Structure 1
Amino acid sequence: MVVMGHIVGPYGLSGWIKVFPYTEYIDGLADYPIWWLGSGNGEWRNFIVNASGVHGNRLTALLEQCADRNAATELKGLKIAIPRSQLPVLSNSGRDGYYWSDLIGLEIINQQGEALGKVTGLLETGANDVLQVQDLKDPERERLIPFISQVIVKVDLKACRITVDWGVDY
């Protein structure tokens, strides 16, 4: 399973949910008629997506098994996953070689071996994608690191680490 987003909470009164997607495009999850929901502990339940839409920077969805606001509220905080076998195969080069969800949670270190934090999300700016990195020493501090070849030295998914050409004082 590849985690592709999480449920922020209910949207309206009739069972719709608000979703924070980890996809490149806000409506990227709308391509999948079945979502797998879980807390990330390996237990997943499938939900049929009856409808979806984009509202601002959030995706909204109506799940078949979610009849009202109370049911939608119970789903708050759950992760949304798609089986990796259903995702398109990516190239192994450049930014197109990684799903955003594969990068979330990775440790960021610079070339001097200094830990800069963990990836909590990505932003699409138009010019390039940007890693949102939570500082390990000060969780309230967020670093924004461009996901471009001049900055990203190495992405090592097996070691759960991204090496960057970036200073601790940037």
Structure 2
Amino acid sequence: MINISIKKPKKSLIVGKVGKSYGILGWITIFSFTEKKEKIFDYLPWFFLKDNKWIQIYLKNWKKYNKNFIILIKNIYDRSTVMQFTNSDIIIDKNQLPFLKKNEYYWYDIINYQVINTNQIYLGQVTDLLRTKYNDILIVKNKKNKNNHQNTLIPFIEKKIIKKIDLSKKIIIVIWN
């Protein structure tokens, strides 16, 4: 029998994804979405969410495996049991994150911020951020322009393109047309 408590975090944040099982002893692959991949292990315990079911899990062990990790969950010792977690989101409570200094923010904080350029033209709303090799990218959707169904991709280069992020007004000012 699996001894896992069932509850969910008060303020949830997805930090990874569960992959396929590894071996026959209950190991399973995970993919970290944190900036520094190993930081995902600083935010234990985790919650798994799959098919609207929340499960709080505790790790027994973890190892680096290729570009990702494999984990062993406490009280799970076989492949068939751990396979039920494949494709689950790995979620933490936002309260587990370090407290930020003034004018600092997490990526999830600027989702839904309004984006305007330095000429006061509305460009849209941030729907996501994308990490690339050279710089991060804001994905902006203009919901007011019905003719434009494409997202605008704006390089997240502070001072050159991103002029200001106003946390109180939830606005990002950019040099962009």
Number of aligned positions between the proteins: 156
Q: Where do 1:9-24 residues align within 5 Å?
A: 9-13=19-23, 14-24=25-35
Report if aligned partners of 2:19, 2:31 keep a CA contact under 8 Å in 1: no
C-alpha distance 132-78 of structure 1, shift in aligned 2 (>3 A): farther
2:68 to 50, 58, 77: 58
TM-score of the superposed pair, with normalisation by structure 2: 0.63
2:128 to 114, 119, 138: 119
**Which residue is equivalent to 1:74?**
84
List alignment gaps of at least 5 residues for structure 1.
Answer: none
C-alpha distance 81-155 of structure 1, shift in aligned 2 (>3 A): farther
User: Any idea what SS the aligned residue of 1:98 has?
Assistant: coil
TM-score of the superposed pair, with normalisation by structure 1: 0.65
Are 2:31 and 1:25 equivalent residues in the alignment? no
| Deviation string, structure 1 residues 34-83 (Cα, Å, up to 9, x no partner) | 11222596x64210011223334423322225443344432233222222
User: Any idea what SS the aligned residue of 2:58 has?
Assistant: strand
**Which residue is equivalent to 1:148?**
158
User: Any idea what SS the aligned residue of 2:122 has?
Assistant: coil
User: Any idea what SS the aligned residue of 1:77 has?
Assistant: coil
List alignment gaps of at least 5 residues for structure 2.
Answer: 1-10, 143-148
Which letter maps to 2:90?
Answer: I
Larger radius of gyration: 2
Report if aligned partners of 2:46, 2:91 keep a CA contact under 8 Å in 1: yes
User: Any idea what SS the aligned residue of 1:36 has?
Assistant: strand
When the two chains are superposed, the root-mean-square deviation of aligned CA atoms in Å is: 3.6
C-alpha distance 45-54 of structure 1, shift in aligned 2 (>3 A): same
Deviation at 1:135, TM superposition (A): 6.6
CA distance in 2, matches of 1:7, 1:46: 14
